[in-house]
Structure 1
Amino acid sequence: MTTAEAKLKERVKELTCLYEVTSIIVNSDYDELQTSLEAIVYCLKRAWQFENDTEVYLQVADYESRTKNYSSEMIFLQVDIKVFNRVDGLIKIGYPADRYSEVDFLEEERTLLHNVSLAIGNLMERKQIRDSEMAAKRQVERADRLHILGEITAGIAHELNTPLANILGFAELLKDKVKNKENYRDLEKIIENAVFSREIVKKLMFFACEMPHKMDKIQLNTLVENALKLLSPSLNDKNIQLKTSFSHPNILLRADSVQLTQVLFNLIMNAIYYSPKGGKIEVVLTEQTKTIQICIYDEGKGIAPKDEDKVFEPFFTTKPIGEGSGLGLSAVHGIIDSHKGKITHRPNTPKGTIFTIDFPKL
């Protein structure tokens, strides 16, 4: 193709492609990027000199798109897609290898491909910035919400402590005076329910970081092993495989051993509850440069995206009525927060949840 008319036609195709790609990117929905990238792929196909034989492959981040007859056996023109100066994908334009060679690609086509890769890289950079801003905003909102809930629950806990103490005290006094067996049983029910209510108050105070703790230097490996031994009947009931991994044989942590045991009990009991029969739970302790990390892996159904920001809130539970108060994880959050630590969760692969706790080192 050497005539001026033919060359002009090719330049028009290339400029039209660049305009269409720019328009697609400007109007892209960050939550529907797959659709935009597919449209870009077909824009590129139409822009090449031998359009009917052109095939396109595009991959960036977790997205991938290709034309119908794309094959890895073709002769290619290729360019990387860079996101924040890091290669994060590529674009390949191909012709059938039995009929074409590299000389069939025009220099202007190489320039066009480079410009399109820059435009896609800029799109992915803007998406990453948007995602980071949204994640930071959600984190701030969640922290504010938990702070407000902490203040409310602390007030409720303090208000309930005195009347509960009075109920328990007077019920215990009445037990010595009541001779009727039926009345005696009623008093025992009152005491039992008052004790249960006091435990709920205690969990609320854990969430609000109001519970005092005795900080000692503890041997974390031993603490975890002892907690797992106590939970072995529950593990055996569901035939769950337990795996432990310690990065060091003697990991030391300054913490309240009773409260840290409660944290482990809550997280591992949740893992057991949601794990299928014959599933696997893994507990990993890692001593890092500045932190000590505890990870608990399970193979349960995982946390639904709509519930990810609620799991540490008081009274939130996905368990059936009567099987959970929704205070276990909120108490865990309070204890870890009072130890200057941090707890997060993320999906396990292929299914389940990973809870990660980071404590500052001694």
Structure 2
Amino acid sequence: MLKSLDNPSLPFPSMARLSSLLEIGWSALARLPQQVLHLVRGNLRAKFMVLIVSLEIVLMGAVTFVVESHQSRAIFEQARLRALSLGTGLAAISEAYLVSYDFVKLEQATERVTANEADVVYAVAHLRDGKVAAFSGRSDLQGKMLDDPISQQAVAAETPLVQHTRIAQTREPGYDVAIPVFVPGSTRKWGTIRLGFSLQRAYEAIEDTRRDILLLSFAAIVCGTLLALFLAKRISKPVDQLVVRVHQFTEGAYDRPIQVDTNDEIGYLAQTFEQMRQSLQRHLAYLAEEKRLLEETNHRLHMTQQQLVQSERLAAVGKLAAKVAHEVNNPLAIIKSAIHFLRHQSLQDDPAGGHLEIIEEEISRIAYILRDLLDISRPSPTAQPVEVNALIQSLERLLLPNLNEKRIVLQVVLDPEVPQVQISPDHLKQVLLNLVRNAEDAMPKGGHLTIQTRRSPDGVEVSVSDTGYGIPQEHLPYLFDPFFTTKAQQGGMGLGLSVLYGILKSAQGHIDVESEIGKGSTFRVFLPAWAA
């Protein structure tokens, strides 16, 4: 403890902290005008408030100065007139005493006026030679000459004289009033009556007046400030609303109307912004519609391009199929007939008979493949009106035994309002059977198969849905290409869907597919309505 008391370096850290706090305070005070100026520059309400309050302060300051000046002059003038009145009254009382040299009466008169009037500090009666005949409270000055400048000027005055002075007895500012006394009926001056009039109460009245004016000015400034705050808020509120709406508009909220709660110039400006917003919204809607139409056109162009490419591929395959069928079909038929003849000529226990049967089945499969190839190039049968629902119902009876055997549940949902379509009945059966066969292959462990019809804007939509393993997304663009297959190991040639695509194209229809791995696939066939 003694060591800490004796160490003179200990007070310095606290002084340093105090100095740091003072520096921070002065720095904050130095930045305050800049912050206020920045606030005023960036805020319409603050500008309005500063302008109104500044104008109030200037006006109330000017009013205070003018009122106080007039009030002060009026109070001093009233005091001067009252001092002259008291002096004149004392002179009238003392005139006879002064002429008759009745000093006792003079002294009584001066003492009485001093005692009765709070503002009268002293009263003096001078003889014509200037000597004091009576002095209230100062009998020792009787018969003496007063040599101060105020007394000299008062004694020499020939007319009532009011002089500003500082009264020696109280050191208060006041008036020295001198009233010359003349002999009745003569112009001869017989003496002078003086009294000292204190201005202390006049200054107090002026201070009271100044205080009242300042209080009224402060109250007026406060009321004016509150009024200015109310007006600023009323004026700036629609501006703030307009700023918020315009800011939202610039951020992309084109559907929010720009409205403010006023009918003045700000309201007119908001109405103009609202007209601009509506015009821009209509323009954006027009652009969005144009974009949609352009996207639809691009989509149709892309689909047409794909159909054109597909048609070119099918045409090439058709030409190849025609050549292959023509060159292969005739010798294949001869070979099949020879094999058939040899098989029937062989003995029942001949082992070669089994091999000949296998050869005949494979030749039949080759013939089936050739028929698929010929379907691509063969001219389409004549289209005719077809009842889609009736055709599906006829197929349902044929499909059920095979589907039940494979544990596939068939559900047929038919819309009775669908119109007739324009296609060959055999081709429509081929399309549906092809899709059902693909669905069976996708559900080797069983599942659900749904065939549904519904009316579409241009005709009829027939959908075939399964709950199989689905088609990978990367395979979907190539499903209808010739020779594209995912069942090559099962002997698939990749011609079924391409033939189906060609059939629907020749009937002015088309086909779409949706698939998700693990959930199944849906093929939708669109056919135009029959135009009678």
The verdict on a shared fold, with TM-score over 0.5 as the criterion, is yes
1:236, distance to aligned residue in structure 2 (A): 2.4
Match of 1:116 in 2: 251
For the Cα contact (< 8 Å) 1:154–1:204, is it kept in 2?
yes
* Alpha-carbon separation, structure 1, partners of 2:371 and 2:438: 19
- How many angstroms apart in 1 are the aligned matches of 2:336 and 2:370? 19
In the TM superposition, what are the counterparts of 1:246-261 in structure 2 within 5 Å? 246-248=414-416, 252-261=420-429
Counterpart position of 2:373: 204
Q: 1:231 aligns with which of 399, 404, 411?
A: 399
- Judged with a 3 Å threshold, the aligned counterparts in structure 2 of structure 1 residues 169 and 136 are, in CA distance, closer, same or farther, namely same
Structure 2 vs 1, CA of residues 341 and 174 (structure 1 numbering), >3 Å: closer, same or farther? same
**Partner SS for 2:247:** helix
Q: Distance in 1 between matches of 2:297 and 2:387?
A: 39
When structure 1 is superposed on structure 2, of 338-347 and 325-334 the one drifting more is 338-347
Instruction: Indicate the structure with greater helix content.
Output: 2
State the match for 2:190 in structure 1.
Answer: none
1:205–1:211 Cα contact (<8 Å) kept: no
1:1-362 to structure 2, matched below 5 A, reads 3-4=39-40, 107-117=242-252, 132=296, 135-136=299-300, 138-162=302-326, 163-173=328-338, 175-176=340-341, 179-180=345-346, 181-208=350-377, 210-248=378-416, 252-275=420-443, 277=445, 279-288=447-456, 290-319=458-487, 321-322=489-490, 324-347=492-515, 351-362=519-530
2: CA distance between counterparts of 1:220 and 1:137?
30
The answer to whether the 8 Å contact 1:311/1:329 transfers is yes
Query: Structure 1 residues 258, 136: CA separation in 2 closer, same or farther (over 3 Å shift)?
Result: closer
In the alignment, the residues of structure 2 paired with residue 323 and residue 190 of structure 1 have an alpha-carbon distance, to the nearest angstrom, of 16
Quickly say closer, same or farther: Cα 1:108–1:234, change in 2 above 3 A.
farther
CA shift, 1:274, in A, is 2.2
Cα distance between partner residues in 2 of 1:253 and 1:129? 29
TM-aligned CA deviation for residue 329 of structure 1? 1.1
The CA deviation string for residues 58-95 of structure 1, in whole angstroms up to 9 with x for no partner, is xxxxxxxxxxxxxxxxxxxxxxxxxxxxxxxxxxxxxx
8 Å contact from structure 2 (residues 479, 497) kept in 1? yes
User: What residue identity is the alignment partner of 1:235?
Assistant: L
CA positional deviation for 1:250: 8.0
1:17 counterpart residue number: none
Counterpart CA distance in 2 for 1:276 and 1:186 is 30
Q: Percent identity?
A: 23
Helix, strand or coil: the match of 1:333?
Answer: helix
Q: CA deviation at 1:128?
A: 5.8
5+ residue gaps, structure 2: 1-35, 45-236, 255-279
Equivalent position amino acid for 1:166 in 2: P
User: Using the alignment, how far apart are the partners of 1:310 and 1:233 within structure 2?
Assistant: 32
Range that drifts further, 244-253 or 327-336: 244-253
For structure 1, list consecutive stretches of 5 or more residues without a partner in the other structure: 9-101
Larger Rg: 2
Q: Partner of 1:23 in structure 2? A: none
For the aligned residues, what is the CA RMSD?
Answer: 3.9
The answer (yes or no) to whether the contact 1:285–1:293 under 8 Å persists in 2 is yes
Map Cα deviations across residues 312-352 of structure 1 (whole Å, 9 max, x no partner): 11121223611532222112112212222221223479943
> Displacement, 1:211?
4.5
Query: Aligned partners of 1:177, 1:238: CA distance in 2, in Å?
Result: 37
Q: Is the 8 A contact 2:418 2:453 kept in 1?
A: no
The answer to whether the 8 A contact 2:415-2:455 is kept is yes
Letter in 1 for 2:309: R
- In the TM superposition, what is the alpha-carbon distance from 1:109 to its structure 2 partner? 3.6
- Which residue identity does 1:169 align to in structure 2? I
**CA drift at 1:183:** 4.8
SS of residue paired to 1:358: strand
- Counterpart AA for 2:495: L
Question: Once the 2 structures are TM-superposed, how far is the Cα of residue 253 of structure 1 from its aligned partner?
Answer: 3.5
AA in 1 matched with 2:372: K
Distance 1:138 1:255, change over 3 A: closer
Higher relative CO (Cα under 8 Å, sequence separation at least 6) belongs to 1
Q: Per-residue displacement from partner, 1:253-281 (whole Å, max 9, x unpaired)?
A: 44322221111111122223324856433
Partner-residue secondary structure (3-state), 1:308: helix
TM-score (norm 1): 0.60
Say if 2:472 and 2:517, in contact at 8 Å, map to a contact too: no
CA drift of 1:237 comes to 4.1
Determine if contact 1:243/1:283 at 8 Å carries over to the other structure: yes
